[in-house]
Amino acid sequence: MGWLEQRREEPAEWREGAPFGDSILYLTASELADLGAGLRELAAPYVDRTADADQRPAGARPVSFLHIAFPLADEGER
């Protein structure tokens, strides 16, 4: 919530670089697993920077990377 409150004061490169949104996707269980694996793969190169400050490039800031995906009740099941 802090980001949403202060984002107007952030430099344009940070505002434009911070994605925000949600989507409803129609996936099979296998596709959902693939999506999760793909997100983990995308984040993997940056994970070690959390514990090792020497790996952080100049200008790096801590970023909250939230990822959550779960099946919803099918409209026919409601």
Provide the number of structural domains found in the chain.
1
Q: Quick check: is 67 in a domain?
A: yes
Q: What is the pLDDT of residues 27-57, one digit of tens each?
A: 999 999 999 999 999 999 999 999 999 999 9
Q: Quick check: is 52 in a domain?
A: yes
Q: Quick check: is 16 in a domain?
A: no
* Average pLDDT over all residues of the chain: 90
* Tokens, residue 49: 């920077």
What confidence score (pLDDT) does residue 58 get? Answer: 97
User: Residue 19 carries which side chain, given as an amino acid letter?
Assistant: P
Cβ atoms 20, 10 nearer than 8 A:
no
Domain range for 64 is 24-71
* pLDDT surpassing 90 at residue 78: no
The DSSP 8-state label assigned to residue 67 in this structure reads: -
**Which has more pLDDT, 4 or 10?**
10
Distances (CA, A) of 36 to 29, 40, 59: 11, 6, 28
Q: Quick check: is 9 in a domain?
A: no
* Tokens, residue 69: 């995906």
Q: Quick check: is 19 in a domain?
A: no
Q: Quick check: is 18 in a domain?
A: no
Minimum mean pLDDT range among 1-10, 18-27, 34-43 = 1-10
Q: Quick check: is 64 in a domain?
A: yes
